Structure 1
């Protein structure tokens, strides 16, 4: 078969969120850090992201990760997260997918009952603990980079909604968090289109009015993702909460969202609503769940930060090769508005 490009990919999802992993066909790129490599892909090799994520090979509700040699000598592997609109510095569901693929394909040796490894990400080094049995990676727990709040109750003027209060927090990506009831919404699957529409509108308003900057890497700036939340409930076995994370260009994360969980832990801790060691079961729009807790505190620049740990599961779904025929008229794919949803009317 003729092909300008052949990529070996392992299909995977973490609690419903697709996070395929490229394991072959992409060479390493220059960079002293994984963030440098992220910038290289973004500026010099973005055709790879477009090839695998745009139609007809991809779809709006998926991510793809690429495994690369690490920059940090303490890491077992490095990886970058490619999403529809950006290269995320870090992603919880994607690190769970990538760890599962690394272990179940033998790229990193699996040790039962527990495998410990470190992955180099564009947000920093992340420690991972995998529960393993009978050749299967049963669950993955990751010790994320420090998470912190930039603003609480930030008033944002949103077309069609008026003043909306949002919290802005770092969890590996810059999040805006908004209470569902405050904008008249329920976190029910049947309201998915409305959640996306309103969520994207709020996100665009935040982007226009406030720009958080990470103190350790000023190049990481600006909110790119939004979490719509419901109140935390106390239970016999810890706290539970639900959220719906709106990912651009307009869809809902199928998982509870790992970095979103970390951002929410930072907000809850800043408000005195959760302490170190307390369990938070964070649920998604489809009812899937991540377990999480704060393992300690830290300082990031002027910000008081928490050290979050999140645990979830992933499953391999396919082994495939993605190819590019030299006569394919869409070498970087395409998008159609019925699935790649962005309103042209900010007040709609």
Structure 2
């Protein structure tokens, strides 16, 4: 068989969200001093890799791919960059859980039972991992995320066709706009799926036109790129504070898991509103019923912003071991998109 490229990939998902992990066939980024620089190197110079793996016919809209690389931070055991359909994410919870699971279950990082601790270097900063392990299986991954904080609460955003919408803007490792689904007459359920995606994308684009948050420690990270529909926040029968959410990921699909960085952004909002305290457990559920178990481990400052230190816990499962190849005669070396699966609102 002829191939211009051969990339070794371990298939994985975290609470339903696909986050495959590249473990071979890709050279490291040369001359980079940080994982953010490595991320930008691949985005600006080697983006054909992301297109080949994530777009059809090799990929699909509802998946992500992670690239394991050497760390830049000497405290880290490994580094990785996160490739999504429309961007490279500085940080992602589900992708962190997938990458940690693959590193442990393939032996790239030595598994210690019952607990393995190590650090991962990301474009957003150093992330600490605590994995529960038993009989060679990584049963769960908890990660100490970078600080999360709120840029704005109840910001009025004018959305064409919808009027003025109240939006919270927060950083949780990615930039998020968060909106109460009920405020738009919607509920987080498959029955409202088409409206949730279309209206969520419309509100996000309106936010992008009207407000551009800038990360105070890295001004190259700017602008909202993700959207959270928030469900009711309540105390469950077991006494745990619980909520449902769904994140609309461009180009117009739901995150299948509760979304780690989106959860961090929501925890920052809840803390800013006095609804979630340090060390309180927060259970965040996805549209398919999977959940992350989370807490705020402390507080800090990021620039002028009051910030929380969030910890997220979830589970990952390896689904496949595969080699993705590119035949030299394939007419789609970087794949393609078709509007039935790669939806974008038509009025943007």
Shared topology, TM-score over 0.5? Answer: yes
Determine which of 328, 339, 342 is the counterpart of 2:341. Answer: 339
Deviation at 1:238, TM superposition (A): 1.3
Taking only aligned residues, the RMSD between alpha carbons, in angstroms, comes to 0.6
Q: Deviations over 1:190-234 (max 9, x none)?
A: 221111001000000000100000000000000000000012111
Residues in 1 aligned to 2:140 and 2:329: alpha-carbon distance in whole angstroms:
42
Residues in 1 aligned to 2:346 and 2:302: alpha-carbon distance in whole angstroms:
38
Q: Corresponding residue for 1:73?
A: 74
Q: Corresponding residue for 1:199?
A: 200
SS of 2:251's equivalent in the other structure is coil
Residues in 2 aligned to 1:158 and 1:271: alpha-carbon distance in whole angstroms:
25
Q: Corresponding residue for 1:248?
A: 250
| Runs of 4+ with deviation above 4 angstroms | none
Residues in 2 aligned to 1:118 and 1:211: alpha-carbon distance in whole angstroms:
31
Residues in 2 aligned to 1:6 and 1:193: alpha-carbon distance in whole angstroms:
37
Q: Corresponding residue for 1:215?
A: 216
- What runs of 5+ residues in structure 2 fail to find an aligned partner? none
Q: Deviations over 1:298-338 (max 9, x none)?
A: 00000000000000001000000000000101100000000
- Aligned counterparts, 1:138-217, within 5 A: 138-217=139-218
Residues in 1 aligned to 2:45 and 2:294: alpha-carbon distance in whole angstroms:
36
Q: Corresponding residue for 1:11?
A: 11
Q: Corresponding residue for 1:32?
A: 33
- Aligned counterparts, 1:1-348, within 5 A: 1-30=1-30, 31-235=32-236, 236-346=238-348
Aligned residues: 346
Deviation at 1:18, TM superposition (A): 0.2
Residues in 2 aligned to 1:25 and 1:160: alpha-carbon distance in whole angstroms:
48
Residues in 2 aligned to 1:316 and 1:237: alpha-carbon distance in whole angstroms:
33
Residues in 1 aligned to 2:300 and 2:190: alpha-carbon distance in whole angstroms:
36
- What runs of 5+ residues in structure 1 fail to find an aligned partner? none
Residues in 2 aligned to 1:191 and 1:328: alpha-carbon distance in whole angstroms:
38
SS of 2:246's equivalent in the other structure is strand
SS of 2:219's equivalent in the other structure is strand
Q: Deviations over 1:43-100 (max 9, x none)?
A: 0000000000000000000000000000000000000000000000000000000000
Deviation at 1:189, TM superposition (A): 1.6
Residues in 2 aligned to 1:334 and 1:177: alpha-carbon distance in whole angstroms:
30
Residues in 1 aligned to 2:324 and 2:192: alpha-carbon distance in whole angstroms:
34
Residues in 1 aligned to 2:75 and 2:200: alpha-carbon distance in whole angstroms:
38
Residues in 1 aligned to 2:188 and 2:129: alpha-carbon distance in whole angstroms:
30
Residues in 1 aligned to 2:213 and 2:164: alpha-carbon distance in whole angstroms:
19
TM-score normalised per structure 2:
0.99
Deviation at 1:265, TM superposition (A): 0.4
SS of 1:230's equivalent in the other structure is strand
SS of 1:232's equivalent in the other structure is strand
TM-score normalised per structure 1:
0.99
Deviation at 1:237, TM superposition (A): 3.4
